[in-house]
Structure 1
Amino acid sequence: MPEPIADPAFKAIPKNSTFFFIWRIEKLQLALIPKENYGSFYSGDSYIVAVASDGKEKADSQMKPRTVKQPLDIRIHFWLGEKTSQDEAGVAAYKTVELDNYLGGAPVQHREVQGYESTRFLSYFRNGLRILEGGVASGFHHVEQESAPKLFHVKGKRIPIVKQCEKISWASMNKGDVFILDAIAYVFLWNGETANHMEKIQGAKVAQQLKAEHGSACKSVVIIEDGNEEKDLGSDEKQVFELHLPLSRKGELKEETSDVEVEKKRRTQITLYRCTDENDNFEVIEVKKGPLFQGDLNSNDSFIVDNGENGIWVWIGKKASKDERTKSMKIAEGFIEKKNYPSHTPVTRVIDGGEPIDFKSLFKSWRDYASVTGFGNTYSSGGHVAKEADLKRLLEQNKFDFSILYDNTKIAAEVQMVDDGSGEKKVYRVKNFDLIEVPESEYGIFFSGDCYLIVYKYFINNRENAIIYYWIGNSSTPDEKGTVALKAIEIDNTQLNGRAVQVRVIEGKEPPHFSAIFGRKIIIFRGGFQSGFHNRLKSNDKNHVEANEKYLLQVRRTNKFVTRAIEVECSASSLNSNDTFILYTPDCIFLWAGKGSIGDEREAAKSIASKSENKEIEFISEGQEKDDFWNAIGGRKDYANDKALQQKETIFPPRLFQCSNAKGLFTVEEIFDFQQTDLVQEDVMLLDASNCIFIWIGNLSNEEERKQAIKTAHEYLETDPRDRDPDTPIIIVKQGYEPLNFTGFFGAWNHSLWANGKSNDSTYDELAKKDHGQAANSSKNILPNNNPCTKYPIEVLRARDTSDLPEDVDPLKKE
């Protein structure tokens, strides 16, 4: 098959290899950008960025090409500067399609607009983005501008976006941000009065980078705090600084500008459109509004997923016609104007069979061809390979060696277990705005009208760890729900020194470890204290229900490791062919097994029923019932008798988000290819593990965000276009006390990363108070360390490229 016709510039792309390339549109032609200039963009130009990764190495502008055998994740971004011409923007879009065809039509296409770059795009540039004034069309000459002084505006918490200001003046600056005056002889880092801490850190890194680029021509980096200019500037430094920014004109300085947009993105209901030409006329048809399912897509056509200002996606079916492939992208871009969306609204094109996780996450469920549900991996321990079936069998038979979790935290994350559940536990029940202790004989028995609190302690490597579960019954009162949440915080602070992991559990959504601490069998009765049913258990034997009472328990396995027995209305209409039921009567116990029930449920039902002494247990299979059973349950009635398959749970890969509630505006920003160092102490982070939500609270996060942690998780679930279950378990984790089922999502975990508790703030303040008699010639004078005592493996510190070192490592003092 002949190679597609393509621009000669694309011939540089290697076959079967990872790669990273940037081209600029120059005189309507593609010009390859040298690697040393990656990360610098001109506001008057348009660019194409192409990257291919294999998942083993983080996609990055500095990565080296590597031959691979497996399929590649290929992304093409066309970036439009705010002052680029329409012709240049058009060429960039056209050449993106040409490159896509050259690469077999599999890449994901992204439209990027200056100032609104996607998180994925920014993640490619570890030293941040530098936006420079000018461009090819303006006659700008790079060499001429190199030696000219510049003023840069630094924005961005995690990845700095450094934009050159059009004019060097106080009027270009404000009190809420960080600015860099690059005067060549000195690089001045000016921190606005209300600039956020992370921008100060990023500004320091950029200033050091500028100094290094100037070599011996630059004497030092000078840090200036807003209001301390006279104090922070030496005589020579002040003379150079005032040549460009006279202190007498500082009155032109603007007040603080918000880091978040004034208006919240509209929560538009996600909508699916079909693009088809099957009737010889090209049509765009609205299919449905969310939630969306994978089955809503059809490989014969192209589809547009409209998620409002959050982004528009174009999905190209494998059998879509040429018109459907080409016109759907133009129509999607037309939605921006037609629906009055902001001009920077992201537009992304994906291919049938090559969908990225951020596209799949828009759908209620998604199953890749030939994929497995659940683990999808094998795990090695001591030379033995354990597969999903092994884990299920061993866990359910209590034969799983839980020591494997300590050596391979990825397994702990997959099965959401931190140990075997045999640690020390205390159970409390809410009554009259207080907690009363539950006797051990009642452990594992819950009432739907009440709330419970469980304090669980366990040891790993001789260190005590603690989890506080607070269980909320579906029929409990708002007062009880509020009380149990407040008591969880109180016990954590007063008894456990604030180190406990707090887990909010809703009835029916109990996670595997919660079930494990009660022997993997939970019994939930109806009623509670408020409804007067608290005497259901006999006072002389808490394991039994009143002998003269009749009631029905439905036994169901809700996931791989959790089986629940829940009281339902004692009527034949409550039966279900897919489950097992236990009917308690004053004389005997009936165990009824539906045709679609599974062995785990039947065994659990036997175990629960056998706890009632001196009562005969009669086993009944559906269809073999006798009159005494129907009489005991109140007579024959219709019930759900369609045998159904057990519902398969769709597990998506974990996703990490930085959460912000700045000025009352809730925002989440995804962190791609995340690792432990992405957990910044100043932030509250959200880890979406599909079947549960972790909220990680940094030690330096603000008090309001800590208080709003649960609300943050709820807002995330509510705004997820997949129509997520609002009762998904929420787990609060504190910095320095992360459990195995959390750390397992981050690969290698360094337990000493925050060991001495020293903050970025204190380190930065110490470094900023430099002696003006000394030149700030090395990074030790400006670069803040997260923790000067942090230890890393020798192979990490041996990295040749200093940009590959962890953020808190001084390349001059690696020892």
Structure 2
Amino acid sequence: VEAEFVYDGREGTLFRIIFPDWLTSCGTQASKRDPAAAPRVVDSSLLARRAGAVPTISDAGRNRRQGGESEALYQIKGRRMVTVFRVPLAASSIKTDDVFILAVPGCIYQWNGPGSNPMEKSKAAEFTAALRERDYSGRARIAVIDPSAGSSRDADEFWSILGGAPRTFVSGEPESDDRHEEEARTSIKIVSVARCGTGQDGALEMPELGIAITELKRPYRVQAVHALEAAVLSWKGRQLFVWTAVSSAPEAKQRAWDYAAFLQAEWGREGISVGIDTAPQHGEPPLFCAHLQGFSPGGASAPAAGSPPGRGSGEGSPKEFKVGGGLTPPPTGKDRSTIILEERAALIDIEEMEAADPMAMELLTPAVRHDDGSSGRLRMWQIINGRMCEIHSVSRPLLLSSGQCYVLLYTFCPGVDLRVVRHIVYAWQGKLSTKQDIAMSAMCIGEALGQIKEAGLIDKQTIPEGRETLHLLVVASRVLISTLPQSSPSSARLFDVRCCSTSPGHTPAGPVGRAVEINASSSGLFSGACFVLLFPQASASVSSAVWHGAASSESDLALAVLAQEKLELDFGTQGRRGRPVVIKEGSEEAWFWAALGGQQSYFRLAAGVTRGLSGSGSVRLFHLEMAGELVRPREVAAPCPEDLFGAPSGVCMVDHVFSGAVYLWHEQGCSARHLQECMVLARKYISLRDSRLGIRGGTGQEPSVEVAGRESK
């Protein structure tokens, strides 16, 4: 059994189909006003007839009811404002400077014109994912065609459907994108439709229809649309949508249809024939979603960073598709994920956990969709001068430079079967990289999505250095190593190795963590971590050493040994006569301190001080939010200084795990009552923490109050 998070407003298709009347039974405002009142179900065709409009039943919807999908050709055009629109299904519609999407039963073709730009390719990748999820139930194959690569089977099928490749292609003018964007800005409008006489600021009254319309501010965002009862999206000569909220009353829906019918009649007098498409909330078609910021490929609003992604509906693949591209189950008959779950279960003693603290039971079997023990396929590119340059020989554990940015494409088969393929694209941004490379790494995510040749679920994420997710660390083979740029080969190099999680319920691959290069000085040592020291080439007795801090864990040591082996391979120290050694804190010899420039003072801790704090890190940060009369703590994963100012109520609690000090940090102007409640919670936290660590009588620590801008050293 696999548990999965489901968020309000982000429900996947698999969750929705449990409820036949999903759109009229969940989360409506009418039920909040009057629990006994149920929202009335009004057919869109009835509203259209009342308004005198001509609705359009999309080809995709009509053919899906008959057991198939439609054939349609879409064009993606623009640079700063990229738009998607339908064009005639003919080879004459193809132009070399744009991207085109051809949707046919069982397959979606993406043809990247030789003159197309990265923005168009990125938009095309998102649109094909949304099209596949909504109109094909996640079961269509996505074929990306690059004309510069020559002829292929997919290209031949693409042109065959369009009636044959033209002898000469039509190429747009250099200013065509600019003219198209200018026309789109003036023509594409999203307006809210309300009752006439409401007195809204900036509303245009239309007494003949009894409505008042208000245009939304650009850029159009999904949050702004979802705050309305009904809206109309119009693009003269191309598209006309009526959007209605789940909780909107029939009268509000009727007003939207009346305005859409008015526009349709006005365009008809000019000889423009455009049908009206419906866009119900949580069921918006991909063409509607393409105009809004904040929609995920599945069509629902995108989850916040760090929240568990929804499954969607891609629970299968076409019969002719070879799942995983060669990722087959092991000869034992059990796939990798099943073995992982069995190993995880064997490491957990439920009775012991319940006896120790029944209220602190951990999640025993978290979803493993993003955690397959690093058994997938990995491709990696480095951002150089704004362009993606592929690294063909990628060895793991990963070794990345803090002065560079990288794009990683990881393909794997999650879950307890191998029927579902998932692709995830990471943009890793080094903390010392240039602003240009950081911006381009995020933009190149779309280009990496264009490299996907197999059908599957798609995720993407931007990862600044130091904020790596557990799954990215598993992909890196348990430890991700980041180096400083322009390090001299003749000097010693020091890497700080720390475990991010050692709980068996978190990652099936075992403990995962990071190895970060720091300045090679003994003042940078810390008893709560392990360090890897690489000696200069001139040294002949020792090639590298692992320094084992007295308060560090065995997981830290295991990761340090793993990082040491990788560093020796990459920096060529293994072929020397020197030998790798492990040095425990307090048993250092003179040559060790000499390599670090002499012995200096550093942060020391006694052995055993971190007992029971596996996976917590050296600092824990909590945002303290007010929930009525209560204070609700919310822990921040992998905290950094910027997270202090992200607290909604302006109050944070910081626990320096190894020293036991707890700080109550707050912004200036915070209410005294709120601070008093937070101080009570902080004292309870210290008491519970000391009790869990087995410290009899407690440490006697009192929270130290720190004010923003006047913090102590």
Sort the TM-score into its range (normalised by shorter chain): 0.3 to 0.5
**Which is greater in Rg?**
1
TM-score, structure 1 as length reference: 0.33
TM-score, structure 2 as length reference: 0.37
